Structure 1
Amino acid sequence: MVAVTAEPPVTEDVAWFRIDDRVTAGTARRAAAALAERLGFSGSRGAEVGLATMELASNLHKHADRGSLLLREVRTGDTSAVEVATVDHGPGMSSTGLAFLDGHSTTGTLGIGLGAVRRLADATAVRSGPDGTVLTALFTPGPGPVPREPFAGVTRPMTGEGACGDAYAVRRDGGRLGLLLCDGSGHGPLAATASALAVRAFLGSAPTAPDAMVRRLHEAMSGSRGGAVAVAELDQDRGVVRYAGLGNIGGSVVAERRRGMVSLPGIAGYQARSVRMFEYPLPPGAVVVLHSDGLTDRWELAPGLGAHPPLVVALTLLRDAGVRRDDASVLVARAERA
């Protein structure tokens, strides 16, 4: 039995949509409404989710360069929520405050879209600048608490693939937060199966140090395609992050500057000659980032980005650094400030 307190939400990235026209916007709306129905939302609440998704997608089509929409399921205990995120490459909003006001428009329309989204959603977040806009909206089936966690992850399959070979998981063991990121070898369903084995072993094992956990993942992935794995443990009481990695997962702690964490060569499930744990300082407010090699290592957190919700940070990094033709994933966690 796993000793986990206050079990974190489990998130599934259901589908990505490249919003090139109104037809795709309509497809995203129908998919969001269908997801809400599958999760037990009432008919009226599901219609609201679909309407908000259509507004977000239409906004991308009208105003944005290379806009994409992500549909997610967020499970917390016995409750599931729908989360919609949009990402684009500009030109950005001149004022995010004005953009969410009813009646504000830059194209001569009624300008009620984003205002309606904010009213219908249980929680929203936005970051916008000349490089583009990232916006998230969470919809619960009814009144109740909205999960606000200091971590978030996101995955995106390689273009042309229906399944993403990357996966992540988060667990709490007492006062410590454990992170896993796995990049299954190759692409498609077999890579996704390898990553799923790692997630199952990570969540189903008794608490242990990151290096011992990586060895467990290596054993659990035997017989699969294998993959690159990394485990980080945030210990805020001691102000440290413990880290062990096998393969080409990128790990960093970002405080006043970015400090890379060391992964050793190998393939979990195939070859693990040496697994070691390293320890790094974790100042209050620091951001820990794990990512697969679908992202280039040449990224930096823009000034002020680390203060945004972790999902906004993860989506921004995916947009800006996820330029390789590959499965891609980012997991972000923030140390609480004293």
Structure 2
Amino acid sequence: MEEVTAATTCLPLVRDEAWLPVEETAHVGRIRRTATALTQRLGFTANRTAEVGLAVTEIGTNLHKHARQGVVLIRTVRGERDAAVEVVAVDRGPGIGDIALAWQDGQSTTGTLGVGLGAVARLATSCSMTSRLGSGTALVARFAPTKVWTPEWGVESAAGITRPINGEEVCGDAYAFCRGADRMTLMMCDGSGHGPLAAAASDTAVRLFRDLAPMPPDQLVTRLHQALRGTRGGAVAVADIDLVARTVRYCGLGNIAGAVLAGDRKQGMISVPGVAGHQARTIRAFDYPLPDRAVVALHSDGLTERWGVDFGADLVQDEPVLIATTLLREAGVRNDDASVLVARPA
């Protein structure tokens, strides 16, 4: 494998700030206050902060009116020189039959997110949505300091999402990814247990990965195993995606699940037993083909592995963050820390 070069990008840095339910009117105000407080910390102007507050109020109001089990994730997305606020909304509502129509002003019938979607799209720097009738809807809206904005890391071809176990403020799972001219490298760590000590282990893995990637997956997992000694340890996995040879080399230690999704087929990838930082009898990488239009997904054991490719997202059209969010909604049924990382190689 080639050495790290200046062309390798390990951006953006994503920090999940809060998962907030939207089940009653008062919750709408809470998500607005959380989002606007975040914009103020990031130095947004007062006018831009007000625009973000209006858009987030529309998202929350429509979830409350038209959805079931609606939740909003608010987080920061940082580069080296700039940052944005990202709002992810997901529900188990009736779904939307005509997304193009739902974006138009004046559409407020039950089954759409309502009249606010047009305003959200205008106020957001970028905005997209996926939905399926009878399953629900997922929406992502990003708000940069200005509405006209090109992130320094370019078009995002991979994205992840984490959710802590009920009762914890921080998630013990973490992920990271890097991209070069001809390859992508994904990493996930599920820190043992829950809470701050589990998060400390997974944060250690993220920092080392960002320093070392790209590196052959088995060598990288070996280094992660060594670095996690003295922590709680955890499950780790690395997927190296060769964009030229169209292959995935995968090395997993512990209960991180990996899969290549293409068409109607889900190809599971093998992780060997062990706990990084504590026990690793064998560290081994396996190779898998990467078909055209394939998606690569990693997830922790906060999700059940009993899901197929038809879990509610459009693998060809949807943004990776929407695919990850939809998979978390459908398979994240265990009361555990949960994380999903999705890459759509070009």
SS in 2 for 1:62: helix
Q: Distance in 2 between matches of 1:315 and 1:206?
A: 25
Residue of structure 2 aligned with 1:48, choices 51, 67, 72: 51
Q: Distance in 1 between matches of 2:104 and 2:299?
A: 36
Q: Which residue in the other structure is 1:331 paired with?
A: 341
SS in 2 for 1:326: coil
Q: Distance in 1 between matches of 2:7 and 2:335?
A: 38
TM-superposed deviation, 1:55: 0.8
Q: Which residue in the other structure is 1:144 paired with?
A: 149
Q: Which residue in the other structure is 1:182 paired with?
A: 189
Q: Distance in 2 between matches of 1:116 and 1:270?
A: 51
Q: Is the 8 A contact 2:185 2:213 kept in 1?
A: no
Q: Identity of aligned pairs, percent? A: 53
TM-superposed deviation, 1:13: 1.2
What CA RMSD, in Å, does the superposition of the two structures yield over aligned residues? 1.5
TM-superposed deviation, 1:50: 1.2
The 5-angstrom pairing of residues 199-238 of structure 1 reads: 199-205=206-212, 207-238=214-245
TM-score by structure 2 length?
A: 0.93
Residue of structure 1 aligned with 2:328, choices 302, 306, 318: 318
Q: How many residue pairs were aligned?
A: 333
Greater mean alpha carbon deviation, residues 157-166 or residues 8-17:
8-17
TM-superposed deviation, 1:291: 0.1
Output one character per residue of 1:217-244: Cα deviation in whole Å (capped at 9) or x when no partner.
0011100000000000000111101110
Q: Distance in 1 between matches of 2:6 and 2:135?
A: 39
Alignment of 1:153 onto 2:153: no
TM-superposed deviation, 1:248: 0.4
Q: Distance in 1 between matches of 2:323 and 2:179?
A: 21
TM-score by structure 1 length?
A: 0.95
The 5-angstrom pairing of residues 274-293 of structure 1 reads: 274-293=282-301
Q: Distance in 1 between matches of 2:6 and 2:87?
A: 28
> Structure 1: 5+ residue runs without aligned partners?
none
Q: Which residue in the other structure is 1:103 paired with?
A: 106
Going from structure 1 to structure 2, the CA distance change for 1:73 and 1:206 (only over 3 Å counts) comes to closer
TM-superposed deviation, 1:249: 0.3
- For 1:269, give the aligned amino acid: G
- For 1:306, give the aligned amino acid: L
SS in 2 for 1:305: coil
Alignment of 1:18 onto 2:33: no
> Structure 2: 5+ residue runs without aligned partners?
none
Q: Is the 8 A contact 2:38 2:85 kept in 1?
A: yes
Q: Which residue in the other structure is 1:162 paired with?
A: 169
Residue of structure 2 aligned with 1:305, choices 296, 306, 314: 314
- For 1:152, give the aligned amino acid: A
Alignment of 1:5 onto 2:15: no
TM-superposed deviation, 1:123: 1.1
Going from structure 1 to structure 2, the CA distance change for 1:304 and 1:52 (only over 3 Å counts) comes to closer
TM-superposed deviation, 1:4: 4.8
Greater mean alpha carbon deviation, residues 268-277 or residues 68-77:
68-77
TM-superposed deviation, 1:284: 2.1
Q: Distance in 1 between matches of 2:85 and 2:8?
A: 21
Residue of structure 1 aligned with 2:252, choices 229, 245, 250: 245
Q: Distance in 2 between matches of 1:166 and 1:206?
A: 19
TM-superposed deviation, 1:125: 0.9
Q: Distance in 2 between matches of 1:3 and 1:194?
A: 27
Q: Distance in 2 between matches of 1:304 and 1:267?
A: 32
Q: Is the 8 A contact 1:4 1:171 kept in 2?
A: no
Greater mean alpha carbon deviation, residues 160-169 or residues 122-131:
122-131
Q: Which residue in the other structure is 2:97 paired with?
A: 94
TM-superposed deviation, 1:206: 5.6
